[in-house]
Every structure is written in structure tokens, then in C-alpha cells.
Structure 1
């Protein structure tokens, strides 16, 4: 694409900008020209509104166009930091690296007023704690910026080898000739129960204007991504579209603090009613670009739907034996099926008490979650828990069971398609998620940091809100007519087969094919008998309900409260949940 210079501005655009600025004094309350050009690090955190276009800004036709490489330096010794929750004292040791960003070196391409990162995955680097995840941002002009254009790029820090995600924005001024200001960055929200912190500062920047390989395709793909997004309305819009409905029952069910909601939404009749995006410094200005972690929702989306896809392609996959595909599993695994591992019913456990094994302080943290090598993770999954029951008989929750299953699924696919086949890229994403028009952020999964690159399967996905809404709509409304997944196994997971409710997890709760379910029939006016609501659940306070009325409700929070009954009851008032 040709670079647009100042002389390329139309008179209409100039008049529009002048008129907009005439409505105000053109002065910014924070992050003005002088601050970005000459301000001293770290400065102070500000309202996130200052990382977005102001009322007198023009986004119609930015005078400069960004295409090239942006580098930010000095992050390891600069910036402000304030911890709010540090359960494991990870940042308490002096000037811990966890208090600072990794080095930043990325290619970006501008299309109109949109700024598109070339990479949208979680980018491994030399930093011991953090990886960048970039999302599309914006470019605009302001009268006080002396001929520069202003860019804002949403980004996230994902904890290395984990799934905690901290959301921020960086902003800077630039010109076509490579002139660039410092970059101001700020993080003040997260989906992470055990580590909550603010990061902020000013970093020296270098901009190298250059043609980016594949930029035309990148822009075309991004425009297709935007065009394919579900229609979005504010959560408050439910009160207009469905008179008498209280949006607060969805925004803050059962007393949950709305300030702890990274994302929250209801999907019904093809409309995505969206809320959340609260931070400790105002609303996050790019809600469509805010990244959230799946945590254990991956047990349903990756392991559950992935197994259903395998069963369609290779009938009998649910009955395949773990020992035949995972050499590390020998003692006590000969009769354990893939389906048993998906159901958390391998017969291997230390305690059958609810979540006792998963929450234990020893073994799991170092053997499964902290080790970066597949050999360590699979050795833990195969050997840590003794054999105590017949497979398929007793439910005991272990994330290690799902990691083990993911390893077995990988081996089965490689046996069928060859050594280069990848269970996530070639099956879960290509066959299940991409046809839903899921965006490129969701094309990533956490993997072991070795040559095996084993996907975690039970955690480690990441999504934007549109990705969540599309997955939710598929499960709630599209799953009855799909042809990609094994329908019988999908119906069982979504409680459509009364003869297969799954294993008992707690009184009134079942677990089936990687999905939870709760019987709420006694709470629903007008319903008789059981009403099982399938749901996906993730660490810290992440929930996705698959409602029997064709709708779906979700939230991503980190207050460690999994409550959602208010939302289900209010959804029942929109349209009955009764069978």
C-alpha cells in the first residue's frame, strides 16, 4: 500500500479536524505531546481514557501511516509497579524481573485508522516471567501533536508457562519518516487470581519504516475478521431489547463485584450483549481487543471437542487405550480409555475428596504446572497418583489427566496422519474453531518449551470476546445441526441424552466429556423435574453457561467466585429454560 503523507489530506478531512478541535481547547489532560516527547519515566498511572482518541481527535484519515518495526528499550530497568495481590511473593524480592516488561520488538501495519500487529500469539522471549500478546489498536490525529500521528496498541502479558493474563495499552507518536516519541504503557487489570498488579512507564522507542512481508494479506485477513464479528450491544441494552430484564443480574450475578469482571456477556438470538472491561483506572478502551485466558475451559473446548472430532474421523477413538499411545504410562494404565481420561475417571488418585488432589500443595505445582518440559509433565501425569479404582467408575478432578489425554490424542493423530500432524493446529483449530470464524488470537495454545511442543489441552488457550461469543453460540445454538463432531458424544456432554448424564462430581453436579452440568430445575419457575445446565469452568472465576433456551452466558473474572445462578434465572425470564 502507498504511504499517505500530509499532502494527501483532503480539505474535508482538515475541516473536520478543525471543527472537532474548535469544540474544545485541544489540550489533553494526560499523555500530551510534551509528556510523550520529553516526560520522565515512570510518571503516574492515568485513566485509560487517555490511551484512546479524545473528543477532539480525528480518526478519519490519519496524516501518517505506520508500517514497519517498533522497538522499545530499557524495559528491564524502568517503569513503575504496584502489586495488589502477590500470593506467592513472586515480585517481592527487590527489583524482581516480574515488575518489568520484556523487550519489545514487533512489526506493525496500519490500515486506515487501525494498527495491526503481525504476530498475535504469545511470544516467547528471554524474560523469565512474561510473554507479550498483541492485539489490534488504533491510529488518530490530535491538533496538539505537531504533525505526528498518535497510535495506541492493546497488549497483554501472559505469564510464561502459565495462563494468567494482564491487559494493558501502549501509546506513542510517530511520523512517516521514522520520527517517534517515547512509548507510554500501562497495565491495570488482569484475569489472574494470585497475582494482580499495576505496571506503567515511559520507554525509549525506535521506529524503522519498512515494507512488511505479507502486509496486504494481513490487512485483508484483519478486515475479514472484523466483518465476521457478531453484532455487539452493551449488556445494558438487554433492558431495551427485553423489557423487564435486569442487566445487573448478568453483570454481577450473586453479588460478584463487576470491577473484577474482565469480560462478561450474554449471547442470544445472534446478538452478543457485552460488558466488563473494568480496570483500576477507568474502563479499558479497547474491549474488542482485550485478551482473556481459557484456563480449564480448554478441558471442554480443546480436549472435549477435540475428542469428539477424533471420534468422527476415527471411530473408536473414545475407546482407544492410553497405554497404547503414551509409553510413559505403564503401571495400571492398560485398561484406561481415552474417554475415561476425558471424564476424569482414570481410577488413579490419592484422595477421592472433592478437589483434594488438585489443590494439594505438593507435587502438582512443580511436576505439572511449573515444569517446562514435556517429559516431566507426562511423567507426573502417569505416575503421581496410584491406581485405586476401576476406570470409568469414580470422578476425581486432575488437570494432569487432561494433559495425559492431550498427549494420547497427539499420538493417535500422528499415527494416522504422520509425524508432522499437530493435534491443535490441524484438528482442534483447523476443524473445530476456524470454521466458527474464530480470530487469530485463538489460534494459539500453550505448549511445552522443548522440541516436543506438546499442547497442554487442559489449559492454555486465549481468546478475545468475539471468540468467546462464537464458541458459546456454537455450543448453545449450533451444536444440534453440526456435522464436524460426533453428535452422540456432544449430546451427552451438553446433557441432551437423559441416559448419559455423566459421573457425579458433587450432589446436583455431573461431569461428562470435559463439560460440567448442574441441575437447577427446582429453582426455575414453571419447570417440572430436572433441568440440567451444562457449563464450562475455569480457575479463578471463569464460567460459560450453555443455556437450554438457545442462549449462552459467560464471564471471565478472578475473584475466585464461580456463582452464576442469578444469570441463569434471569435468562429463564427472557426465554424458558424448561425442557
Structure 2
């Protein structure tokens, strides 16, 4: 573990819970934000209760339509803490809200963004802000006494294209046919960060300008949004599950995880996600089910694993044994990559990496952030990232023998899969294949993700190791596709024989990580962590799960249920990746065996 990680841990101990608790207590409660505040020049002094950004009990329909662009000016935010431990990252300021052009249209009272992908701002040379932006659907309405104005609000996330966290917020503005007010915003929730070491909240009033019209293919966008609404994963309040089964049977769902570090959690039962409240520093997070979350390395399962399983279904299982060097030129000074296969990379068993040669017992994270990790992490283009990972030395063992955690391996797998796809279809757009052939067929209409930053302005290579920003419903849909052995309706989307092997609860699948729990040793197989669990005296099995930095968990239960927990923890204690509480609850509701 490097110095940065140690500093993260030391800081998190004092910041993670106390700061969030204090901010919750100081958010001001207001029914709504006055017109004068949105038209004025005075900057806000702190957070408001999130309800101030939503329609009041007296609200009515919007008086105006909105179809055009909201052009925002850059502004230094008010923040808590007032200054950050790292003032600038790669020359950019994380306390600055970025200048942005955000286009929206209205359908059935919803304010719908035209661009739902990562909007690159801070990751470009322009401006002083560090942040890129993702925008999600909100609402339009009118309030009594607002005169000529209608109101709008929408959720958004501050992100950065080389990282994987989200800083989630809500914004509101007034509008009519010709003009808009300033944009009032606040950032009230986040997943675990990396370079920005502070847990922070922020607020501000940004100057805005309205540019009506200019939305191409508006009818098509509205039609697609209608299908998106129809395809939303069913979500119900956790209290309904308590009514159905009783509170006692649902107790300790998050295990020993500190509650102030849990953002949201839930359990998929019989095709419905029963969700607990979505926490933030200013009350329940508005638009929680429309918000994308930075799940970090859960991307490995939700994207990379899905992509390789789709290629196997489409072109045959031979892809698992395909050699990486046949599809990617790796400028390494050794032969360690010669026999590495696609499956080796998904198993994080390339036989290449930093760290010690000790393997009995193994330590999965041995060497993880060592060597030139920062050089690779900050490299912008796909070529520069491949050159950086090529500097990794060999281990004394070969591929497929020892599991060592490496983001570089999963990124390289993405590059190799894209090249493999191009050899088959002549295009080689891996993320488009995921969107067109997996995500959209199961009802995911937008899949924002980080990509490499290329000088020629092209879209870049999807990161695949982290950087996917799914909603809770998206996570439930992908997890349910796994649980259904890759089938959706009448269509077999993923390669079923491998999915069945990945979900098989018994047998020592995969490689030992050196970690474990009270029930036994943990293993890793095809982008899934497998924790031991004794459901009863005669029912001893493994439960596979996707895990992401900060305590993000997607657990695939043997009874078909899915446990989800999103968190913001930096301290890698036992609770961070412990999902025995989820397993206990699921096993109580429907026993795993018999």
C-alpha cells in the first residue's frame, strides 16, 4: 500500500462519519427557494434541505415548455470543508463548478437531458474546473406567486474521466419562453473518492443563459425517453418488504458497515428492488432512482464480465482462450504477456505485476498500487496507458496460477476485446456493442462511462476496470441478467455455460485471494469475488459478488435475489466487503438450499 492510500485511511477515520453527520444537522429547511434568490446575485451560504429543490405541495404544472440549452458560467463553489487537502489536481481546481452547455427537453412534466453520457469539461484543457458532469432527468412545474416563471430541477453528478466516483447533487432554475434565472445547485452525496481526498459538500449560484431550440431529432428523443420510462426496473420502499416479512427477518442487512458511510442499499426480490432511503447531507437524495453512481471496480463485473460473456455467446467460447498478444501490441521488455488469455485477465491472473513473490498464503492486493500505477492511472490515451502497463515486470509464475488485483489487467482486457470485436465486425466499438446488444435489450437506455482521452478528439477506449455510472435500476437489471444465466425473455444474450459456472455455489471455482470470513477462504473467478457462506449445517456454498472501492457491493444470492449496497468508505476494514448480512437476510426469506 502506498503513501497516498495510508493518508486516505488516516483522514477517513476522522472525516467519514463526523463530517456527514454535522452537515445533515446544518442544512437549512425551506419550503422552496424564493424567486428573488434565483434572480439575485448573492451567493448562498450553505446547504438547504433537498426538498427546497422540489415541487411544493401547492405546485402546479409548468406554464412553459423548455427545449434548448442551458449555458452555465464557471463559478467557485462554497464548500465544506472550506479548503481541500489537495488544492489542484493535474492543474485543475476541484472547488470550481464547471462552465457547461446542458441541453434539455420536456416530456410529460419531466426535464430530460439530451446528453446522458459523461460531458467532458474538466478533463479537457478548457476552464479551471477539475470536473466533468453527468446530468439525469428531473422535473418542471410552477409555484404560486412565481409570476411569469416556471421552475425546473434536475439531478447531476460531478465526475472526472480518469477516476470513478460521483459527487451527486441537485440543481434548480426558473424559466419562461425566452429566459432563465441563475442556477442554484448543491452537492450533497458522494461515493468514495481517490485524488480528491476530502469528503465534501458544496453549493452555489451560477449565471445561466437560455438558448432555445437547436435539439436535433427531438421526436426520436422523446420516443426513446417514453420507452426508457416504461423499462424502468420496479422499485418499492424497504418498508413494504418489512410489512411482507417482518423487521426481524431483515435485520443487520448491511452487516457491520458504519451507517453514515452507507449511501443506499436494497434487495431484489421477485423482480422488484426494495430500496432503503437514499441518504445525503441534506436529507433524502432527490431523484435517487434516476441518479448514476460511481461504483468503481464493480464495473469489472457489470461491464467487462458482461462484454466477454457477450462475445462468447456471439462468436463462441474460444474467445476465453484467445491470446491477448494476438490483438494488442504490448511493448514490454519481457515475454510475460506471451500466453496470457482473455480469461486470465478477467480472473486477474495475468502473472504480470508489482508486489512480492509470496503466494502461500496469497494476498490479492499485494503490489496493487505500487510501481508505476500513478503513471498508468493518469495516462490519458489508450496508447499511453498500454505503454505504461507494459512496464510491469513478470512474476515467477505463469498466467492463470495466482490472482493479484490489477486495474491494468481489466483495462487491457477491454482493449483486447475491442480489437477482437473489430476483427469480427470491422468496427470494434466495444461499448456500443454493450449498449446495443446487452444493455438496451434489458432496458438500460443510457450507460455513461469513462473513456481514454485521445488527442484527435475521438471517443476513446472505455476504461472497463472502473468508470461506469449505473443507476440502481441498471445494477438490478444487469445482476438479474446474471441470475437468469444470461437470458432475457426469449433471447440468450450471454454465454450460459460460463454464467452457470460463475454462479455455481459449490466447488472451488477460481483462485484463492488470501482473504476470507468466518465461514472460510475467499476465491475470485471471472470478475466475481466468492465468499464462503454456511446457509445451514448441510448447506455450505460460495456467494459471488461484484465489489467496488468504497464498499460498493452487488451480491448474487443462490436463491435468485440480489443484494445491493453503495457506500463511501476509505478504510479497508472487514465491514467494507462483508456481505454476510445480505446473505443472512436473503437466506431467511427464501432458504438457499431446499
TM-score bucket of the superposed structures, by smaller chain: 0.7 to 0.9
For residue 480 of structure 2, the aligned residue among 473, 476, 482 is 473
Return the alpha-carbon distance in structure 1 between the equivalents of residues 396 and 528 of structure 2.
24
CA distance in 2, matches of 1:67, 1:226: 19
* TM-score, normalised relative to structure 2: 0.85
Question: Cα deviation per residue 1:223-277 (whole Å; 9 max; x = unaligned)?
Answer: 2111111221112221112235454533xx1232333333322111011111242
Q: Aligned pair 1:568/2:583, yes or no?
A: yes
Write the distance in 2 (CA, Å) between the matches of 1:85 and 1:400.
32
Residue 439 (structure 2) pairs with residue 433 (structure 1): yes
- Contact conserved, 2:279 with 2:285, CA < 8 A, in 1? yes
CA distance in 1 between counterparts of 2:314 and 2:409 reads 23
For the structure 1 residues 211 and 277, does the alpha-carbon distance in structure 2 shift closer, same or farther, using more than 3 Å as the test? same
Residue 514 of structure 1 corresponds to 527
Q: Which whole-Å CA distance do the structure 2 matches of 1:475 and 1:242 have between them? A: 26
Q: In the alignment, what sits opposite 2:115?
A: 119
The answer as to whether partners of 1:531 and 1:577 remain within 8 angstroms in 2 is no
Output the CA distance in 1 between the equivalents of 2:537 and 2:557.
14
Measured at CA, do residues 123 and 211 of structure 1 come closer, stay the same or move farther in structure 2, by a change above 3 Å? closer
Higher gyration radius (CA)? 1
Whether 1:559 aligns to 2:569 is yes
Aligned match of 1:240 in 225, 240, 243? 243
Moved more, 30-39 or 129-138: 30-39
Residue of structure 2 equivalent to 1:197: 200
Q: Secondary structure at 1:36's aligned position in 2?
A: helix
| Alignment-derived partner of residue 19 in structure 1 | none
- 1:41 counterpart SS class: coil
| SS of equivalent residue, structure 1 residue 143 | coil
Aligned pairs (5 A) from 1:340-355: 340-350=344-354, 351=356, 352=358, 353-355=362-364
2:81 corresponds to: 83
TM-aligned CA distance change 1:476 to 1:527, over 3 Å: farther
Other-structure match for 2:463: 456
- Residues in 2 aligned to 1:346 and 1:377: alpha-carbon distance in whole angstroms: 17
1:110 aligned residue: 106
For residues 55-94 of structure 1, what are the structure 2 equivalents within 5 Å? 55-58=57-60, 61-73=61-73, 75-76=74-75, 78-83=76-81, 89-91=85-87
2:268/2:476 contact within 8 Å kept:
yes
The alignment yields a C-alpha RMSD, in angstroms, of 2.4
Distance 1:465 1:275, change over 3 A: same
Structure 1 SS opposite 2:51: helix
Which is further off, 430-439 or 46-55?
430-439
Match of 1:21 in 2: none
The aligned counterpart of 1:138 is 139
Q: Are 1:321 and 1:338, in contact at CA under 8 Å, matched by a contact in 2?
A: yes
Q: Report the secondary structure of 1:296's partner residue.
A: helix
Whether the 8 Å contact between 2:486 and 2:493 is mirrored in structure 1 is no
Q: Does structure 2 conserve the Cα–Cα contact (< 8 Å) formed by 1:311 and 1:317?
A: yes
CA distance in 2, matches of 1:405, 1:323: 11
Q: Is the 8 A contact 1:165 1:292 kept in 2?
A: yes
Equivalent residue in structure 2 for 1:218, among 213, 218, 221: 221
Residue 417 of structure 1 pairs with residue 425 of structure 2: yes
The CA distance in 1 between the partners of 2:337 and 2:485, in whole Å, is 36
- The offset of 1:129, in angstroms, is 1.7
Partner Cα distance (2:53, 2:187) in 1: 11
Task: Give the 5 Å matches for 1:134-533.
Answer: 134-176=135-177, 178-193=178-193, 194-210=197-213, 212-250=215-253, 253-315=254-316, 316-328=318-330, 331-350=335-354, 351=356, 352=358, 353-366=362-375, 368-418=376-426, 420-426=427-433, 428-440=434-446, 442-451=447-456, 453-477=460-484, 479=486, 483-495=492-504, 498=506, 501-506=509-514, 507=516, 508-521=521-534, 524=535, 526-533=536-543
C-alpha distance in structure 1 between counterparts of 2:386 and 2:141, whole Å = 49
Task: Judge conservation of contact 1:137–1:152 (CA < 8 Å) in 2.
Answer: yes
Q: Given the alignment of the two structures, is residue 544 of structure 1 paired with residue 554 of structure 2, yes or no?
A: yes
- State the Cα deviation string for residues 404-423 of structure 1 (Å, max 9, x = none): 111111111111211x3211
Q: Residues 548 and 573 from structure 1, CA distance in 2 versus in 1: closer, same or farther, beyond 3 angstroms? A: same
Determine whether 1:98 maps to 2:94. Answer: yes
Aligned to 2:11: none
Deviations 1:505-553 (A, max 9, x none): 13521111111111112xx2x3414211010001111100000011001
Question: Which whole-Å CA distance do the structure 2 matches of 1:325 and 1:303 have between them?
Answer: 16
Counterparts in 2 of 1:109 and 1:358: CA distance versus 1, 3 Å: farther
For the 8 Å contact 2:485–2:500, the answer to whether it is kept is no
For 1:118-154, what per-residue CA distance to the aligned partner results, in whole angstroms no more than 9, with x for missing partners? Answer: 0001011234521110000001111121131111011
Match of 2:592 in 1: 577
Bigger mean CA offset, 295-304 vs 378-387: 378-387
Q: For residues 248 and 186 of structure 2, what CA distance do their matches in structure 1 show?
A: 36
**For structure 1, which runs of at least 5 residues remain unmatched after alignment?**
1-26
Contact kept in structure 2, 1:51 and 1:170, CA below 8 Å: yes
**What is aligned with 2:7?**
none
Q: Determine if contact 1:439/1:467 at 8 Å carries over to the other structure.
A: no
Give the length in aligned residue pairs: 535
Larger deviation, residues 221-230 vs 535-544: 221-230
